Structure 1
Amino acid sequence: MKQILYILIALFSAGMFAQNQSLFEQGNQLYNQGKYAEAIEKYKAILETNNHSEALYFNLANAHYKLNHIAPSIFYYEKALKLAPEDQDIKNNLAFAKNMTIDAIDTIPDAGFSKVIKKITDIMSFDDWSKVAVASVIIFVLLILLYYFTYSTNKKRLAFITSNIFLFIAAISLLIAFHKYNLSQKDKPAIIFAQETVIKSEPNNRSQELFRLHEGTKVQILDTINQWREIKLADGKTGWIEKEDIKEL
C-alpha cells in the first residue's frame, strides 16, 4: 500500500512540475510579446502551487517593472535576491526599480567594531559557519586522541597546539553562526505597497503623524499589534503603519 502511495505522489509531483514548466514557458512567451499583464498571471499561477525560484521571481519582477508597478517589482526582485544573493542581474534590476521610488532614505553606515563583525559574519551563511564549527570539533577530537596515543614528544606538542587552534576556530565559528542566526530571526523586511501611507507615533489612527512613506520603500518590521506594524527605516526612524499598506518579504 505504501509503495502505491509513493508512486502516486511521484506521479503527482512529476505532473505538477510539467504543468509549472509549461506555465513558465507560456509566461516567458507572453513577456517577449510585450503582454506583461498576461505574463504576470501565468507566473502567479505557478506561485499558487507553492513553487518558488529566483528565476520565477526575477521574471515576475521584470514584468511588473515593464508596467511601472513600483512596489511589486521591488518586492519580487527582493524575493529573487533572497534566493540568489550574489546574482548581479537581480541586483542591477533592483537598483533600476528603486530609482522609481519617491522616498530618499539615507542608510546609517556601520562603523568601528560592528562594521568588522558584520563583514566577518557575511563571509558565509549560517549553514556554512555551522559546518566549519562541526568540522573543527571533529578535527579537535582526532588531534586530542593523537595526543594521548602517540609517544613522540614532538608529535604530542604539535597535536596539543593544533588541537587548541581548531578548538578556538570551532568556538569562534559557533559564536558567529549563532550571531548570524539571531540576525536572520530579527530580519523582517517588508515593502510599502500603498501609493502613500501615514506613519503614526502609536498603533492607532488618533495618534500623531510622524512622516509619510510611498510605494516601493523597504522597511523592517519590529513589532505587531492587531492590524498595525511597527517599522524601522534604514536611517533609524521608527513608527507605526497599518498592516494593509505593506507586504512582508
Structure 2
Amino acid sequence: MKKLVLIFLIFVSAATQAQNPTLFEEANEAYTNDDFDTAIAKYEEILENGKTSVATYYNLGNAHYKLNNVAPSIYYYEKALQLDPTDEDVQNNIEFARSMTIDDIPVIEETGFEKRINQFLSTFSYNTWAYFSIALSVIFAVLFIFYYFSRKPLIKRALFGFAIFIFLLGGISVFFAFHQQEIQFNNQFAIIFTEEAAIKNEPSQRADTAFNLHEGTKAKVLEDYQGWVKLELSNGTQGWTENNNLKRL
C-alpha cells in the first residue's frame, strides 16, 4: 500500500511539473516564439529572485539584441562574462553587439609581464580559482593520509614530494582567486545607457563638455561625487558624467 501511495505521489509531482514549467523554460519558450519582451520580463524576474547564471544573462543579452537594444544587450553579455570569461558564445555575441555602438574607442594594450599575468588570471573567474584551490586542498589531504600510513620509505618520499607540490599549487590558486577578486571589485565598469551622455571636464553642469559618449560604450568607474561619476575610457581619456547616464556592471 505504501509503495502505491509513493508511486502516486511521484506521478502527481511529475504531472504538476509538466503542467507548470519553470520560469526559465517559459522565458526560453517566449524567446523561441519571438516574443522578446515577454522573454526579457521573465529573465529579469529570475534575476530579481536572486538566481543568476551565465545562461540567464546570455539569453537576456540575446533578447535585447534582437530588439536592437544596444546598451542592455552589451550590459547583460558583460554580466555573463563576469561569471564565465571563457564562454565563447558570449564572447562572439558581445562583439556583434559592440559593432552596433557609435563610439569607436581604441584600446591601449598592456605590454610585458603584467599583460601575460592578467591574461592568464582572466582565463577563469575568481570563483573557479577558488574551486581549484579547494580541490587541490582535498587532494593534498588524501596524499598526506597515504603518506602518514605508508610503511615503505620510497613511497613515503614520493607521496611527501607530491603532497608538497599540490600544497604549493593550492596556495597559488588561493592567491590567484583573491587577486582576480580584487581586480573585479576594484576595477568597476559601467555601460552608458542613455542615447548620448555629455562628458564634462568637472562634476558640474556649468563645466565645459569635453566630448559625448553614446549608448553601449563601456567605461571604467574611477570616482563618485554628488551624483556625478568620473569615467576612464579604454584609451585613457577621463571625464565626468551624471550617474543616471550609466548602469554599473
Determine if the TM-score, normalized by the shorter chain, exceeds 0.5: yes
Q: Secondary structure at the match of 1:183?
A: helix
Distance 2:141 2:56 in 1: 45
Q: Do the aligned partners of residues 18 and 200 (structure 1) sit closer, same or farther apart at CA in structure 2, a change above 3 Å counting? A: farther
Q: Deviations over 1:3-58 (max 9, x none)?
A: xxxxxxxxxxxxxx999953333332322222222322232233332222222222
With the length of structure 2 as denominator, give the TM-score of the two structures.
0.74
After superposition, where does 1:115-126 map in structure 2 within 5 Å?
A: 115-126=115-126
Q: Do the aligned partners of residues 81 and 210 (structure 1) sit closer, same or farther apart at CA in structure 2, a change above 3 Å counting? A: same
Distance 2:164 2:245 in 1: 53
- Please provide the CA RMSD for this pair: 3.6
Q: Secondary structure at the match of 1:213?
A: strand
Q: Do the aligned partners of residues 43 and 235 (structure 1) sit closer, same or farther apart at CA in structure 2, a change above 3 Å counting? A: same
Q: Secondary structure at the match of 1:203?
A: coil
Q: Do the aligned partners of residues 239 and 124 (structure 1) sit closer, same or farther apart at CA in structure 2, a change above 3 Å counting? A: same
2:185 paired residue number: 185
Q: Secondary structure at the match of 1:230?
A: strand
Structure 1 position 236, deviation (Å): 1.1
Q: Do the aligned partners of residues 135 and 233 (structure 1) sit closer, same or farther apart at CA in structure 2, a change above 3 Å counting? A: same
The one-letter amino acid of 1:110's match is E
Distance 1:246 1:194 in 2: 7
After superposition, where does 1:146-185 map in structure 2 within 5 Å?
A: 173=173, 175-185=175-185
The one-letter amino acid of 1:83's match is L
After superposition, where does 1:3-22 map in structure 2 within 5 Å?
A: 21-22=21-22
Q: Secondary structure at the match of 2:247?
A: strand
After superposition, where does 1:89-128 map in structure 2 within 5 Å?
A: 89-127=89-127
Q: Secondary structure at the match of 2:224?
A: strand
Q: Do the aligned partners of residues 96 and 137 (structure 1) sit closer, same or farther apart at CA in structure 2, a change above 3 Å counting? A: closer
> For structure 2, which runs of at least 5 residues remain unmatched after alignment?
1-16, 145-152
Q: Do the aligned partners of residues 177 and 51 (structure 1) sit closer, same or farther apart at CA in structure 2, a change above 3 Å counting? A: closer
2:148 paired residue number: none
With the length of structure 1 as denominator, give the TM-score of the two structures.
0.74
1:23 paired residue number: 23
Comparing 107-116 and 42-51, the one that deviates more: 42-51
Distance 1:59 1:18 in 2: 23
1:240 paired residue number: 240
Structure 1 position 204, deviation (Å): 1.3
Contact 2:85 2:122 (8 Å CA) reproduced: no
1:44 paired residue number: 44
Once the two structures are aligned, what percentage of the paired residues are identical?
A: 42
1:76 paired residue number: 76
Distance 2:163 2:24 in 1: 52
After superposition, where does 1:196-211 map in structure 2 within 5 Å?
A: 196-211=196-211
Contact 1:193 1:245 (8 Å CA) reproduced: yes
State yes or no: 1:66 paired with 2:69: no
After superposition, where does 1:214-233 map in structure 2 within 5 Å?
A: 214-233=214-233
Distance 1:218 1:35 in 2: 28
Q: Secondary structure at the match of 2:22?
A: helix
Q: Do the aligned partners of residues 25 and 98 (structure 1) sit closer, same or farther apart at CA in structure 2, a change above 3 Å counting? A: same
Comparing 193-202 and 173-182, the one that deviates more: 173-182
Distance 1:238 1:37 in 2: 36
Q: Deviations over 1:126-174 (max 9, x none)?
A: 3555576688899999999xxxxxxxx9999989988987786566555
Q: Do the aligned partners of residues 166 and 83 (structure 1) sit closer, same or farther apart at CA in structure 2, a change above 3 Å counting? A: closer
Q: Secondary structure at the match of 1:197?
A: strand
Distance 2:245 2:182 in 1: 27
The one-letter amino acid of 1:49's match is N
1:8 paired residue number: none
